[in-house]
Amino acid sequence: MAQLKIAGMTCDSCASHVKKALEDVPGVQSADVSYARASAQIAIETGTSRDALIAAIAGLGYRAALVDAPTAPPRRGLLDRVRNWAARGDKAHHNGGGSHIAVVGSGGAAMAAALKAVEQGARVTLIERGTIGGTCVNVGCVPSKIMIRAAHVAHLRRHSPFDAGIAATPPAILRERLLAQQQGRVDELRHAKYESVLDGNTAITVLHGEARFKDKRSLAVRLAEGGEREVRFDACLVATGASAAIPPISGLKDTPYWTSSEALATDTIPRRLVVTGSSAVAVELTQAFARLGSRVTILARGTLLSREDPAVGEALAAAFRGEGIDVLEQTQASRVAHSDGEFVLTTAHGELRADRLLLATGRTPNTRNLQLSAAGVAVNAQGAIVIDKGMRTSNPHIYAAGDCTDQPQFVYVAAAAGTRAALNMTGGDTTLDLTAMPAVVFTDPQVGTVGYSEAKAHLEGIQTDSRLLTLDNVPRALANFDTRGFIKLVVEEGSRRLIGVQAVAPEAGELIQAAALAIRAKMTAQELADQLFPYLTMVEGLKLAAQTFTRDVKQLSCCAG
């Protein structure tokens, strides 16, 4: 008879897997495995290898040690490290060994946290109530950028700055085929980057179901296959994302409105579309549908991208109007009705009629059904989980990351936060610095921003100086015959250190990372101006904009250093 202590099991199903693995070991007659006691009683034949028993369990991603194993000096073998950890409580793999971490969600923050926690030696139970992969790959970043790119190609076939020499040919839009192509790539990426990664990691157990907190150290999971399971944890990450916010407009709930999810999944292009909202999602989908053939009107309560420098919204509105998009700023719908396949929106400026209505007025954290109060986790007035710079909540055992918190709603922020949360849940102490966080809006021209705008800097008492360079001063833009937009630099008065950049340009998403690195390096405007930039690139506009602090770039030769 052999008795093992087993670490890492989270449920009775785990125990069943361990039992089967043990009984497949040559010489094992029977195995009685208990999740509750974290142990196994094994009837074995004489001469049966104890190392084989431990290896069978380690192969499933758990850790085991013989209860009667004598204390031995540390050895380099894998099985010896496992024995030492389980028998003496040592923390293997950077202090994470032995801990059980629950992760609620499977998007960018959740996956980053789960993988990093496993690297640190922890065992992870990941809980997902819907489709593996979360918002970004399934109904957000990936499908939207595919649709936007297709719309950009359609637009260039219909109109470009080179039509005088390249005959334009209005395209036939076969939306159902574009949708199939889009969904095929989504399915491919979800499988490659999420499902197969989880399937191949034995240290991560995936539960399909909806989780809620029972208390400060446990979750109850209503399983999709039926029944309920309790998951106790040493630490937990909440990464449940957010959903489209639905504004309280009279009559709206009784209509078949779209959110971005339905808009991206449609196999038809509506003849008339009204978009409510002025955020990145609103403006991106507004332009995409317009370029694919819809007559689009966008209603902005204030201005387009109202949280950015006012010049950004002005430039984008001008570009939209130039493409025939109706931009109605300072406009809201007070009532919505739907009859005979038509939407009727009442505004202060009269009625609007459309075949489809797309709501893009922000996103609401998915926290309502988690019973966070049972775990002592605080939320703000919008339902977002309150966290510190280390992703810790008001419960020291529970962390949160991504769109369910008050962090900026970008998947790369969520993933970075998830990674750092995992390090902290396994004994580390790290934070997420967002002072040089780049952001991109994938319109045409694109919008790229990083650091402070002038207004935000002034709110924090920072005195600034700034320069705005229009793209007709950038050789790449001139060569492209497309000078829509600008590059604006904000520096701190006194130190002259670069603290913010706003760009509206066809390739703003590519140049903004260089700006982020310059801010991170605490470069001054002059230091940026002194750098070498390749000629006839859009990013050279950063150098030219920096030069405007001390000279008139209109008086320079094309590539003057």
User: Buried (b) or exposed (e) across 259-283, using 16+ Cβ within 10 A?
Assistant: bbeebbebeebbebbbbbbbbbbbb
pTM value > 0.85: no
Task: Write out the two tokens for 427.
Answer: 């004994």
Cβ count within 10 A of residue 32: 14
What is the helix (H) or strand (E) element at residue 169, kind and residue range?
Answer: none
Decide: helix, strand or coil at residue 33: strand
Q: What is the DSSP letter of 70?
A: P
Walk me through the domains of the chain, giving residue ranges and CATH numbers.
Answer: 2-88 (3.30.70.100), 100-134+185-244+364-425 (3.50.50.60), 252-361 (3.50.50.60), 439-555 (3.30.390.30)
pLDDT (0 to 100) of residue 506: 95
Choosing from 1, 35, 535, 558, the catalytic residue is 558
DSSP string, 128-163: ESS-TTHHHHHHSHHHHHHHHHHHHHHHHHH--TTT
Choosing from 9, 404, 425, 523, the catalytic residue is 9
* CA-wise closest residue to 124 among 200, 233, 241, 13: 233
Q: ∠56-57-63 over CA atoms, to 5°?
A: 140
- Cα distance between residue 205 and residue 61, in whole Å: 10
pLDDT (0 to 100) of residue 91: 37
Sheet holding 486-492, edge to edge: 439-441, 446-451, 498-505, 486-492, 464-470
Question: Contact, 475 vs 330, CB < 8 A?
Answer: no
Taken as a whole, the chain contains a residue count of 561
DSSP string, 112-127: HHHHHHHHTT-EEEEE
CB neighbour list of residue 325: distance below 8 Å, 6 or more residues apart: 286, 287, 290, 296, 297, 298
- Cα distance between residue 413 and residue 112, in whole Å: 11
Q: What is the DSSP letter of 392?
A: B
Name 125's bridge partners.
102, 205
pLDDT (0 to 100) of residue 11: 62
pLDDT (0 to 100) of residue 87: 37
Sign of CA dihedral 16, 21, 22, 23: positive
236 is catalytic: no
Choosing from 111, 136, 404, 425, the catalytic residue is 136
141 is catalytic: yes
What angle in degrees, to the nearest 10, is found between the helix axes of 78-88 and 50-58? Answer: 80
136 is catalytic: yes
9 is catalytic: yes
- Pairing mode, if any, of strands 39-44 and 2-7? antiparallel
pLDDT (0 to 100) of residue 73: 41
- Cα distance between residue 407 and residue 207, in whole Å: 26
pLDDT (0 to 100) of residue 95: 52
Question: Contact, 147 vs 455, CB < 8 A?
Answer: no
Choosing from 62, 194, 399, 452, the catalytic residue is 62
What are the residue ranges in the chain where pLDDT is below 50? 69-94
Tokens 């706003």 sit on residue: 502
Question: Contact, 134 vs 108, CB < 8 A?
Answer: yes
Choosing from 14, 404, 437, 523, the catalytic residue is 14
Sign of CA dihedral 44, 48, 51, 53: negative
pLDDT (0 to 100) of residue 204: 98
- Cα distance between residue 242 and residue 219, in whole Å: 20
pLDDT (0 to 100) of residue 94: 44
Sign of CA dihedral 141, 143, 146, 147: negative
What is the helix (H) or strand (E) element at residue 246, kind and residue range?
Answer: none
Residue 206 exposed, middle or buried by CB count within 10 Å (0-12, 13-18, 19+): middle
Sheet holding 398-400, edge to edge: 228-232, 218-223, 204-215, 123-128, 100-104, 235-238, 398-400
Distance, CA of 549 to chain centre:
36
pLDDT (0 to 100) of residue 8: 65
pLDDT (0 to 100) of residue 539: 97
- Cα distance between residue 43 and residue 202, in whole Å: 26
412 is catalytic: no
535 is catalytic: no
What is the helix (H) or strand (E) element at residue 15, kind and residue range?
Answer: helix 12-23
- Cα distance between residue 518 and residue 523, in whole Å: 5
pLDDT (0 to 100) of residue 59: 61
Question: Contact, 296 vs 290, CB < 8 A?
Answer: yes
Question: Contact, 316 vs 283, CB < 8 A?
Answer: yes
C-alpha distances in angstroms, 297 versus 4, 339, 357? 68, 19, 10
Tokens 């997902």 sit on residue: 128
